[in-house]
Structure 1
Amino acid sequence: MARTGRRQFLGGLLAAGLIPKPTWADAGSPVFLSAAANPDGSYVLCGIDAALDVRFKIPLPARGHAAAAHPSRPEAVAFARRPGTFAIVIDCITGLRKARLESPLGRHFYGHGTFSSDGSLLFTTENDYEAGQGRIGVWDALDGYTRIDEWYSGGVGPHDIKRLPGTDTLVVANGGIDTHPDTGRTKLNIPTMAPNLSYFINGVVVETAMLPPQFHKSSIRHLAISKRGDVAFGMQWQGDQMPQALVGTHQRGSPISLMTASTDQIRQLDGYVGSIAYSGNGNSIAVTSPRGGVVHMYDASTRMFFRDILLTDVSGIASLEDTFVVTTGTGQLQSMTRGDSNFSGQIDVKWDNHLVAI
């Protein structure tokens, strides 16, 4: 059969559903994604399975931050570290690049993105640095990741973005910090910061949740979503005095709630939450602080601190059922529950900021 005829024949079988479409199982059944740095200084995106073994390492052109996993295809979008201007779409079976996203002129990415429930659209958080506004980029994942729309993010400095389970409602963490490439990572508007959570349906803000006024220097950065749609968030403090809280939760239609911890416990975090996750059953929330070298756990119902685990340069965290898994800049992969902590492995990489559940 001629090459063109064979291609048409296989295409017809695929369209008819007679050839199984590739799934994440074909990529080694990873349950997590994480960017990392190799000992030689090169950068990779890794897939990690439920046994905490690395199933693939795919080269990246520069340092990564977080990733977005397609809900059905074995395909990942690796985002450059803020203020990067590119994202790479990767076939996680072949390791080949499928597309490269470039932020529009006058923009940069914030290192995070998420897919629509059917995987047809990708949403990215971006900074319009001349206007001092956050934007959400909309990309068509069915047409080579063509950019098709953008929205005002509902605030300044949108960092993380998540989709509420079973819906196409998006929640955006507007950190409130204005930056400009001409001044690097310098924060330009600390006195007037106004962080918020903004909820979107079809590009329209349907709800905004604000912190109490005394917390306006608490930059909301990273999000976790429970299976029932509760939102937890970690903050990074931009004030001079020690903050009163660095972790909060929100349910739509209600005010923001903040986690309770002692002064010494809050001091451990050194003003900085790197990543956050809900346990699979939604009963616990865990956060990491690479600056403090510590993991904190909170009871989601009482909103009370109940445990800390010291771990050097810990940052990435995600849940596997009712177990938390963390990564560190020293190469550790560690699992932990409410009462136990089990060292799981040492990998010859430096894990980057986030561990992303697939």
Structure 2
Amino acid sequence: MDGSLMQAAGGAELSPALAHLVAARLPSGAFALVGLAADGAELFRLPLPDRGHAAAVHPARPEAVAFARRPGTFGLVVDLVTGAGIARLETPEGVHFMGHGCISADGTRLYTPENDYARERGILGVWDAADWRRLGEIPSGGLGPHDVIEMADGVLAVANGGIFTDPAMDRQKLNLPSMRPSLAYLDPRSGAVLEAVEPPARQASLRHIAMRADGTIAAAMQWEGEAARAPAILALHRRGEALRLLEAPAEAQRRLKGYGGSVAFSGDGRMAAVTSPRGGVAHLFDVETGAFLAEIDQPDVCGAAPAGAGLLLSDGMGWLRWIGPDGRETARRETPGLAWDNHLVRAGA
């Protein structure tokens, strides 16, 4: 890749160490997981059997698990030094991955949101993160679990989208009139729901979550109701409290088109970002005050992850864009021929 495509403020030399993982579509139409350095340079490219979505990074070993986009059934364990695949996970019959997962802080367990469509229930798969055997599953606390994060005390925060789908009916949403999205906090041993909160608007499907160092959760939602009535699609939550909705001024809010593609905190934890590939914009908010800070125009933007004290955004046009802690662009880089998929995953400092 031509380094001249990197436009950076200050001209500082960046480390070639792995910083982010992102799935991509190649010019051939094939799919891959790509490892990126802090300056966006490509470090490795691992072929995927189908479209990828997100990944879970091991806290102690240079390994990660790349997941299929729903309703895919594969997870590939990746050596983050060489970029080689070292193991493959498969869901049981009648179950598919939802595209996300997390590995426990002690490095012993992998948790994967899954749709048990054969039994019409949401579950978290539980895997041994030493040899990648499936150990079993626990209830997710709702239908359509999409994302999961382990908190500092070991409790699992789960984004339950509330929507039931069946691969035999493509991606058709089968229960919109009765859907109940939630952010559920689970005991990882039993699956018992310790706490759950639901969006005020029942058809705001709660899909993606990020966590700040103090345990604050940011949640991005996707509106399944009438377009003209789309509510706020970004919320913050702390256990024991109500959801706090963050909303831009009316004209800017409409540009999101009711669709939150990804959510992330800035590296310094002061900003929360929600992206909308449908609207071609990302919105930034002050976490403490809830104030709307900025709207960033970026066609087909979806991926968002911490980068330094700020953020990195990616889009389906092949662009990477760095945002500083003041909400302003500091650098951008184009990757000709690659279409970045939905999510960026931080894999290093």
Q: What's the TM-score once normalised by structure 1's chain length?
A: 0.88
Which residue does the alignment assign to 1:3? Answer: none
Deviations 1:85-116, CA, capped at 9 Å, x for gaps: 11111122233322111111111110000001
C-alpha distance in 1, partners of 2:130/2:114?
21
Please say if 1:178 is aligned against 2:164: yes
Report deviation, 1:206.
Answer: 4.4
Is contact 1:209-1:255 (8 Å) kept? no
Which residue does the alignment assign to 1:195? Answer: 181
Which residue does the alignment assign to 1:6? Answer: none
C-alpha distance in 2, partners of 1:251/1:95?
37
Of structures 1 and 2, the one scoring higher in RCO (CA 8 A, sep 6+) is: 2
Please say if 1:158 is aligned against 2:158: no
Report deviation, 1:120.
Answer: 1.4
C-alpha distance in 1, partners of 2:267/2:322?
13
Is contact 1:315-1:354 (8 Å) kept? yes
Counterpart among 128, 133, 157 of residue 116 in structure 2: 128
Which residue does the alignment assign to 2:268? Answer: 281
Which residue does the alignment assign to 1:330? Answer: 317
Q: Secondary structure at the match of 1:354?
A: strand
Is contact 2:231-2:258 (8 Å) kept? no
Which residue does the alignment assign to 1:117? Answer: 105
C-alpha distance in 2, partners of 1:221/1:278?
16
Counterpart among 247, 259, 276 of residue 260 in structure 1: 247
Which residue does the alignment assign to 1:319? Answer: 306
Deviations 1:61-101, CA, capped at 9 Å, x for gaps: 11100011111211111111111011111122233322111
Which residue does the alignment assign to 1:22? Answer: none
Which residue does the alignment assign to 2:339? Answer: 350
| Structure 1 ranges of 4+ moved more than 4 A | none
Which residue does the alignment assign to 1:88? Answer: 76
Report deviation, 1:146.
Answer: 0.5
CA RMSD, 1 decimal: 1.5
Deviations 1:144-170, CA, capped at 9 Å, x for gaps: x11012001000000011122x33221
Which residue does the alignment assign to 1:69? Answer: 57
C-alpha distance in 2, partners of 1:254/1:54?
42
Matched residue count: 329
Deviations 1:177-234, CA, capped at 9 Å, x for gaps: 0101121100011111111111123333343332254x10000000110011100000
CA distance change for structure 1 residues 249 and 339 in 2, over 3 Å: closer, same or farther? closer
The correspondence of residues 97-112 of structure 1 with structure 2, limited to 5 A, is 97-112=85-100
C-alpha distance in 1, partners of 2:141/2:53?
23
Q: Secondary structure at the match of 2:253?
A: helix
Deviations 1:302-322, CA, capped at 9 Å, x for gaps: 212221011011110101232
What percent identity do the matched residue pairs reach? 46
CA distance change for structure 1 residues 93 and 302 in 2, over 3 Å: closer, same or farther? same
Please, which runs of 5 or more residues in structure 2 have no aligned partner? 1-14
C-alpha distance in 1, partners of 2:102/2:32?
20
Matched residue type, 1:51: D
Counterpart among 39, 42, 53 of residue 27 in structure 2: 39
Report deviation, 1:335.
Answer: 0.3
C-alpha distance in 1, partners of 2:327/2:104?
36
Greater mean alpha carbon deviation, residues 311-320 or residues 44-53: 44-53
